[in-house]
Structure 1
């Protein structure tokens, strides 16, 4: 059975170089598409469901880490990174695959050997490792983003509803969900908008009460009604007082194992 991949890098000449190297080292691997932004990569993964995604970490729109957070199907991730040493050590400790820029043919060959071995196991086998690395790196990003903020946890948000501004207690929020340039603040009675990104919100919220379950979603555990798996074993959460189920990314499924 042939395997399929996508490559995501905002430096298109690097993406083309990686594609050329893959053609030489693994001719059976079909590269379906090249993406120049994180959002484009996320769309390609959702629609094409490739076996592999080579994701540059630093891309406009969504980072490679955020794209990996949102993967709900079978796609495995190889990060392409110029990250500093602590990130590389995290990948290595979790037995995940990564490539350092500038790419070296010998290193790519070793990575592909590991990828072939990993593809023999079901996707769930490396989900917890991916989750651990993503959490560590994203928490580091969030801490940096919130370094100038007070250590006191966020208690209220000022949000817009039409032309009106409202002060909403975070305890009343059912969930936060990214929506293009805004973040939706969903309460039992209304939907409001703020400009604070999800990653910045997560750094300010109480982690005992608020869980990130998707690159675009943070839920309030006080309003969690339950979970459901569909026929493809994808996990969804149900929120009290809200009719729509919210998907849980593969990177966060482990949070619900005790439930």
Structure 2
């Protein structure tokens, strides 16, 4: 406590750093004296505590894409690993692939033994289970577990538009093949940004036109025009995917926030226009 308390006190008294900025904390270490500890906040907040290399090192690009497709449709996802850190890193990374959307259901990166019955939950979940608990999970009534415990349903390759799926797969394959060579020389932030950008572009090209289909009333509230939004897509495969995606909780919550006020939308487009002109 003699070491921890002064450090925590210094942390509380320090201003919260802006994205990309660093805060310096003084900490007294016995036999070493006062030590300066620098904590840097990532530039992109949604990638804080995220390591995509954890996925790239352990799963194939095709499997990562299958997991993403299942997560987008809010299915039940179970991750198995021996180490707690691996479970935590991989699940955080998968959740980050959904940005700018947020997983809206049960989310437990490492399930404690007392909550293993979660795998029998009829609602969507994303959970991590240590391999030593596998037998306990399989001891659950099979009619309850078998439908959720399968790694794949079988239609994962048909969920995402094939053209966009191939583009994301190419990007993942490139980072996967270079991962072992570059991991020691490339900053993890750079890998995170490149991988995240591939999935952000997927959403931009499928649902990025949502703002044009919010009808604004005099009160400043908006009403999303779902039918016109779906019909605006020229690609049949993209339209088929979007018709399923708009029914998910994560998309509904995203649109609810967008409908609340027109001001953030106008500010965003004004900033985008200003950047192009400059």
- TM-score, structure 1 as length reference: 0.29
- TM-score, structure 2 as length reference: 0.28
| Higher-helix-fraction structure | 2
- The higher-RCO structure (CA 8 Å, 6+ apart) is 2
Higher CA-based Rg? 2
| Higher-strand-fraction structure | 1
